[in-house]
Structures are given as structure tokens and as C-alpha cells.
Amino acid sequence: MTETERSAERFSPRVRALPSTIPFVGPEALERRLGRPFKARLGANESVFGPSPKAVSAMADAAALSWAYGDAEQLDLRQAISQKLGLTPDHIVAGEGIDGLLRDLVQAAMEPGDMAVTSLGAYPTFNYHVTAHGGALDFVPYGEDFRQDWPALVARAKVVRPKILYLTNPDNPTGSWHDAKAVEAVLRDVPEETLIVLDEAYADFAPAEALPETTRLAPNLLRFRTFSKAYGMAGVRVGFVFGEPDAIAQFGKVRNHFGLSRMAQAGALAALSDDDHLRKTVEKVAAGRKALAELARAKGLVPLASGTNFVAIDLGRDGTYARAVLDAVLRRGVFIRMPGAAPLDRMIRVSVGTPADIALFAEALDGALEEVNADQPHLPTGNAS
Amino acid sequence: MTETERSAERFSPRVRALPSTIPFVGPEALERRLGRPFKARLGANESVFGPSPKAVSAMADAAALSWAYGDAEQLDLRQAISQKLGLTPDHIVAGEGIDGLLRDLVQAAMEPGDMAVTSLGAYPTFNYHVTAHGGALDFVPYGEDFRQDWPALVARAKVVRPKILYLTNPDNPTGSWHDAKAVEAVLRDVPEETLIVLDEAYADFAPAEALPETTRLAPNLLRFRTFSKAYGMAGVRVGFVFGEPDAIAQFGKVRNHFGLSRMAQAGALAALSDDDHLRKTVEKVAAGRKALAELARAKGLVPLASGTNFVAIDLGRDGTYARAVLDAVLRRGVFIRMPGAAPLDRMIRVSVGTPADIALFAEALDGALEEVNADQPHLPTGNAS
């Protein structure tokens, strides 16, 4: 056996063959490439309004106690979450962000060759975990209205009968949402052996009409939420899933039991006790969304309605054009992102920041549009195909 | 299809069939069962001497900045680690503790049905992750000297040709160690397509003879270390792997890229800058080991030599007896653990604590031995079979 052959035998041949690209290049990595720090960080849908001071204080206190592993059963946190939701702790499992929990789910649900159905251009980290576990993905395009096409996803699930159907509500990267009735239609029509992931990362920002009651569960429904967005704790890594106890129990067979740090548990628990901070953050985000939308309209661009903490802005041309504008904004020191797949890739996606952040973005966008429109005056307008 | 059949189709049938038991029941869970908090926490090989004050301070500072995701490339931390080790950042990947990194490795290396070889009674969390990924385990018993039987493990690896061979040095749960020459023999004799996990969680406490140079790498060698033990940061969840870049790169294809929290990265980085705290902790642990060993001898028990922050104490009878003593110690408010498999299950395992902790343990052990010896005077002595 040659070294090349031996090397190929180390690790799974399937994993060896995977690309080294990661779902999201982080802002620190971009800063290193660009050679300077960003002036405004509006690309990862973080909350610049920060965590609750109560959470910050609880985490600082927990730092000194962090010689001890965190509670593997996460009981205090699961109790507090379940009380908020009108459920019991056995309906809840917490984990290292929704990313970590999606990984747990994929590992628990899918064997190599199993199928998952998602929207083309939806959250790439879900796709990443499916692929990294040997699963196969089936994609349904977004609708003409830039929303996930739930009827088409359901129809596809009836044909493919996947292990997992991935839905977001409200949606990233568009900010759009479906209403609770649409969730009911999905629950009625999707094969009962398919697990429905309802990724509600942005639920705290959503119009009330978008969200089924938190007590609306089903044997094949798993609802994912996070402290990364409205609670302003992306860097802490805490998310949770709620669902029926039998489904929740399967996470315990694969998850990293001591993975949720002592600081994360203490911080999330304290954050749940500060409704006032959450309310104020949601208000600031609503104001920021409005400011971003007005700014886009003032430049003749089309902001999408958003039930999240970001605004997708339709630049009205194609992916090449949007990519050029994005790069020009990044070079001007403002971190934003854009969707990767058509028809969404004619947009840029801007997280809500402080008024100062939004002013920096406005200035960078002005310069970027001027530069790109001067360089590429002949780019086609209209949908990318 | 009945609901039972549909339910069986949700999740992987293989994962559904796994037991819900977890590798380690945490001390908080035991406290809830016992109905009161422990007076001393000496069961999880945590460091009661705590993190470096510099790490505590860095984590407290990072708490307020935790609205932002941590650096997915972990570059500052990987640079600092690689400088300590005389390597470069592409030799390093950090993750959510060794537990999280073992999970990454198993996912990257093993497909359902693949084999891993380990010692019977070695770290159960490795076994857990292998099983949770559909891998099969092959066990080699510990030697008569209560050390992992590396020659037998190597011989077994030659027959089984596993994807992974799991070795610990120094060892948990015995505290024993092999020397660097033994590591060389393993590297020479194990099939080159087998990945050798060298779990060095306790390296900072080990005699110098136990450790190959940190620059001693090989294409099939992965060395695991952690901030959970000597750095006193178990509750923070940071570990790292060092190895050749091609092997390290495979982790990036499966890991949760943003999984290492902002506080964890800041804390680990600061901890690395405080050699003084590390040295003092190692000194306190050496003194505590001595105290635990003397205490055991004074009661006619046999402490094993330890290169770690715990001491395994041979009670000289069988697993039933040791379990009874363990339970009696727990009921007296002192958290300790014991190995689960013969011949190690005639021992209890006690982490080093403060002198006050050790005094509490001494008192609890006295009472426990008195109680159990009175209840069970006719238990056999000698090795459990």
C-alpha cells in the first residue's frame, strides 16, 4: 500500500471527498483577508444591542466557577424555557446554538444516503451538516415572491419522503414569513414519518401571525430557537429545540452532554428573566429595519418586508452585480452578506445595527453603487436566471 | 402505517435503538437524586484550584462582547497554542472540549460498521461517540498492572485494522502512564491507515518521561489536550487536537465552525499566558495526590501511582464492594466516581481537591468503610473476575 492509499483509508472516504469550504466565512476571517477591521458588523444577523446586562453579569459570575463542568441535564435552563413556552422540561433540549442542534438532529435522524428536503438558498449550515453525515439534499426553489415555497416543499416531501424537511419561519436570508395557518397546512400534509424542522431563530422579531402557539407540537415537529438573535448572545452559543418528549429524547443519544458551558447556561437563564431588555431590543430592531428599508428605497432599491433583525435589499439586477456591490461595501469597511443562490442572489442582506452603523452602511452603499455602476454600466437588469 | 411504525421511521432506527444512558451522570444530577448538594466535588477530575485569574477576567470582559459570534477560524487561539507546542496553526484545531473533538473525529473517520479499538474500562465518552455514529467497538482488557495493555492493543489493531485506536496517556481512570518510548513502539507497529488517538487530557500533570516531544507527529497520530484539567476550565469547554495538517483539516469538514464561544476563546488565550498559575496548580495537585495516597495507605488500601489530578484507590475486593463504598461516600456528601469495568471496578477514583476537600473525603471514606464493612463482612477479597 502506498502512502497515498494509506492516507485515503484514514478518515471516511466520504468525508475526505468533501470540500473544505465552510458554510459561512466569519467576519474575522474577512477582516484578515481585507487587512483591516470592519467599521460596522452587519453581516451575521447578530444583535449589536448586546445581551441583557443581567446575562452579562451572570456570565461574568459564572466565569470564576467554570472550573466545574456545566449541568449535563441543563435542568434549570430547560425549566425556565419550558415555563416561558407553557411546556415541561422534557419538551426541551438545549445545545450549542441552532447549528449544534441541527447537527445533533441530522446525526440522530439520517444514515448515509438518506434524504433531506430544503429550499435552494436557505440556511447553508443545515445543508453542511446533512452532507457531513452522508445525507443527500433535495432542493426546492424559492417562490417568485422571494418566500420559501411551502406548498412546493410539501409536494416534494410527499414524493421524496425525506427523513427531514427544513423550513424557516421567519426566513433567513429573505426576512419573509409564513403565517401559523401555513404551518398547520404543512403539518397536515407532510408524511408523518418525515421530521419537520421549523427553524424559528428569528421568532422574537416576527409578527404574531407568523407563530403557532408554543404549545402547538406534533410527533414529527421540532421547533428550533436561539439566544443568538434577539437575546444578543450569538457568541455564547445557546439554542434550544422544543417538541414532543419522544423526539426530544433522541437528541440525548448523540449530543455532547457536557457541551453547554457553565457560562452559557447561566447567561441564558439570566437573559430569560429580562423581558424588558428583550422588548427594547425588538423595538430597536423594528426601528432599524424601517431605517434600512427607507435608505434602500431612497436609492431606488427594493427592501423586502422583514420579520427578522435584517433586511434583504433587492438590487434588481443579477448575482454578478450584487456580488460586485457586496465586495465594494466590504472594501469600505462594512460587513454585510448576500444569498448564494438564484433568484435570491440579486439581493444583499443587511443586519440591523445602531443608527451609527446604519449611517456607515448608507455611506458605504453610496460609494459601492457609484463604483460598481461606473465600472459595469452594461450589466443586465432584472432577474438572474 | 400505524403510529408506532411511523414513529419508528422518524430518526435513524439505529439511533432509536440506542439506550438513553449517558457516559457520565453529572454531579448536579446526582445531587438532585440525593436531595442535597455535595460538600466536596471530587468525582469529575475538575480542578478546584480554578482557572487563572487572567482567564476569569478575560472571560468576564468577553461576556459583554458576546453579541458577536466567536472567530470560526479560532486563529488567535490556534496561534498561541501552536507557539507553545513549537508548531504552526495548521497543526491545531480547537473544539468544545476533548469530548466534542472526539465526536468530530469519529464523524470524520467512521462510517456505520467501521471498527474502533480501545481498552475495556477506558474513557466511555469515546465509546459513546463511536456507537452514536454506528461504529463498532473492540475492547482489550487492562493489564494486571492496571495499565492499558499497549502491546495487546497494538496486536489487536493489527488484526482488526480499525479506523481508530484509542489510547490515553496518562490514563483515566487509573492515573497510570506509559513512557514516550512506548508511544514510539505504537507508532512503529500500528497499521498506518489506523488513526491513533492519543488522549493526553492529563498531560500537564504527567511525569516528563510520559510525553513525546510536542513536535512528534505522524500522519496517523492525533494528540488531544484540554483546558478542562490543569487549566481549571472544565465548564468553559475548550480542548484542542494537534497533528499533521492533512489530518487536522478533516475536522473542518464536520465540525460546528462557530461552536467555540467568544468567552471560551478569550479565556483559553488568557490562560495560556499564565504559566505561573499552571505551575502552581500542578504543584498543588502533586501535593494533593500525595495526601490522597497517604490517606488510602493509612486505611490499608492501595493507591495507584498517578500522573494525573486524581488517585485511583484499590479497595482490594470486587466491584460490588467498591460500588457499596462509593454509594456510601456519595451519601455522605462527597462526589467521587469509580471505573465501570473489571478489573478496574474494585477501585474508587478521587480527584485532588483542596486540603479541606480531602479532609471531607477522608471523613466520608471512614464512615463509608465502617458502614459497608459492617453490612458486608463476608465479601470476597482479591480480584474481581
- Which residue has cell 513512557? B179
Residue A57 within any structural domain of the chain: yes
B74 and B163 part of one domain:
yes
Q: N- to C-terminal Cα distance for chain B? A: 48
Percent of chain A with pLDDT over 90: 93
Measure the CA–CA gap between A315 and A302, rounded to whole angstroms.
Answer: 7
pLDDT 10s digits, A102-154:
999 999 999 999 999 999 999 999 999 999 999 999 999 999 999 999 999 99
Cβ-based neighbours of A156, under 8 Å, separated by 6 or more: A117, A138, A140
> Is residue B268 in a domain?
yes
How far is Cα A238 from Cα A249, in angstroms, rounded to an integer?
18
| Number of domain units in chain A | 2
8 Å CB contact between B40 and B363? no
> What is the per-residue pLDDT across A316-335, written as a single tens digit (0 to 9) for each?
999 999 999 999 999 999 99
A252 touches chain B (CB under 8 A): yes
- B135 with B205, same domain: the answer is yes
Q: Which pLDDT score is estimated for B295?
A: 97
Domain that holds residue B358: 24-49+276-374
> What part of B 45-64 touches A (C-beta under 8 Å)?
46-51, 55-56, 59-60, 62-64
Query: CB-based burial of residue A382 (10 Å sphere; 0-12 exposed, 13-18 middle, 19+ buried)?
Result: exposed
H or E, element range at A247: helix A245-251
Q: What chain A residue is nearest to B52 in terms of C-alpha separation?
A: A64
Distances (CA, A) of A82 to A87, A203, A239, B303: 5, 16, 13, 46
A7, closest residue in chain B (CA to CA): B193
pLDDT at A255: 97
What per-residue confidence (pLDDT) applies to A12? 94
- Where does a domain end: A273, A299, A320? A273
Same domain? For B210 and B126 the reply is yes
Q: Are residues A223 and A83 in the same domain?
A: yes
Mutation target for B interface from A2, A6, A7, A10: give the one with most B CBs within 10 A.
A10
Residue A246 and residue B28: Cβ atoms within 8 Å?
no
* Residues constituting chain B: 385
Mean pLDDT of chain A: 95
Contact B253 A15 (CB under 8 A): yes
How far is residue B11's CA from residue A323's CA, in Å, rounded to a whole number? 39
* Residue A141 belongs to some domain of the structure: yes
Is B3 inside any structural domain?
A: no
Instruction: Kindly report, residue by residue over B127-165, the tens digit of the pLDDT.
Output: 999 999 999 999 999 999 999 999 999 999 999 999 999
CB contact under 8 A, A68 and B62: no
Pick from B3, B12, B62: CB nearest A110: B12
Rounded Cα gap, residues B171 and B202, in angstroms: 8
Interface of A with B in 163-182 (CB under 8 A): 163
Same domain for A135 and A280? no
In the three-class reduction of DSSP (H, G, I as helix; E, B as strand; rest coil), residue A334 is classed as: strand
- Count of beta carbons in the 10 Å neighbourhood of residue A6: 15
For residue B381, pLDDT over 90 is answered with: no
State whether residue B261 sits within 8 Å of chain A by CB.
yes
Specify the pLDDT at position B3.
Answer: 73
Shortest CA distance to A176 belongs to which of A119, A138, A248? A119
The whole-angstrom distance between A145's CA and the closest CA on chain B is: 31
Residues of A in contact with B29 (CB under 8 A): 71-73, 75
Nearest to A73 among B28, B110, B236 (CB): B28
Q: Among A2, A4, A5, A11, pick the best mutation site for testing chain B contact (most B Cβ within 10 A).
A: A11
Mean pLDDT of all residues in A82-89 = 98
Contact A263 B262 (CB under 8 A): no
Domain boundary among A273, A290, A320: A273
pLDDT at A321: 97
The average pLDDT across B332-348 equals 96
Is position A319 within any domain? yes
Amino acid B6: pLDDT: 76
A119 lies in the same domain as A167: yes
Residue type, A377: P
> What confidence score (pLDDT) does residue B384 get?
39
pLDDT for the residue numbered A6:
75
Q: Which stretches of B200-345 are assigned E, i.e. beta strand?
A: 221-226, 239-243, 302-303, 310-314, 334-335
Which CATH number covers residue A122? 3.40.640.10
Flag whether B205 is in a domain: yes
Residue A12 lies in a domain: no
CA dist., res. A108 & res. A254, Å (int): 6
pLDDT over 90 at B7, yes or no:
no
Residues A83, A275: Cα–Cα separation, whole Å: 14
Which one is predicted more confidently, A363 or B383?
A: A363
Give the pLDDT score at B376: 67
What the block records as the C-alpha cell of A383 is 432577474
Per-residue confidence (pLDDT) for residue B326, from 0 to 100: 98
- Count residue pairs from A and B with Cβ separation < 8 A: 297
**Inter-chain touch B72–A25, beta carbons under 8 Å:** yes
**Which residues fall within 8 angstroms of residue B105, CB to CB, at 6 or more apart?**
B164, B195, B197, B222, B241, B251
Banded pLDDT at B4 (limits 50, 70, 90): confident
Q: For residue B262, is pLDDT > 60?
A: yes
Whether residue B101 is predicted with pLDDT greater than 60 in this model: the reply is yes
- Residues B222 and B233 grouped into a single domain: yes
Confidence of residue B379 (pLDDT cuts 50, 70, 90): low
Residue B34 contacts A where some CB pair is shorter than 8 Å: no
Tell me what ipTM this predicted complex has.
0.95
Residue B75 and residue B158 in one domain = yes
Cis previous bond, B245, omega within 30: no
> What confidence score (pLDDT) does residue A385 get?
37
Mean confidence (pLDDT) of chain B: 95
The grid coordinates of residue A254 equal 448523540
Q: How confident is the model at residue B378 (pLDDT cuts 50, 70, 90)?
A: low
Residue A18 lies in a domain: no
> A6 and B110 in contact by Cβ < 8 A?
no
pLDDT, one tens digit per residue, over A155-183 is 999 999 999 999 999 999 999 999 999 99
* Residue of A12, A14, A42, A281 best to disrupt the B interface, most CBs of B under 10 A: A12
Q: For B38-50, how does the pLDDT look when each residue is reduced to its tens digit (9 = 90+)?
A: 999 999 999 999 9
Give the tens place of pLDDT for each residue, A5-61.
777 789 999 999 999 888 889 999 999 999 999 999 999 999 999 999 999 999 999
Q: Are residues B100 and B249 in the same domain?
A: yes
In order of A53, A115, A225, A277, B326, the CA distances from A271 in angstroms are 8, 37, 14, 8, 38
- The predicted model gives A353-363 an average pLDDT of 98
Model pLDDT, residue A382: 44
State the pLDDT at residue B385: 37
Last residue of a domain, one of B247, B273, B299: B273
Statement to judge: residues B66 and B37 lie in one domain: no
CATH number, position B36: 3.90.1150.10
User: Which residues in A lie closer than 8 A to residue B26 (C-beta atoms)?
Assistant: 69, 71-73, 257-258
Indicate whether A383 pLDDT > 50. no
B133 touches chain A (CB under 8 A): yes
Contact between residue A182 and residue A212 where contact means Cβ atoms under 8 Å apart: no
A91-105, A130-144, B12-26, B340-354: which has the minimum mean pLDDT?
Answer: B12-26
Chain centroid, CA B149 distance in Å? 18
Domain match, A146 and A167 both: yes
Mean pLDDT of B302-328: 97
Nearest CB neighbour to A69, from listed B20, B46, B48: B46
A287 interfacial to chain B (CB closer than 8 Å):
no
A12 contact residues in B (CB cutoff 8 A): 108-111, 114, 163
Residue B22's pLDDT is: 85
Question: Does B140 share its domain with B223?
Answer: yes
What is the pLDDT averaged over residues A282-303? 98
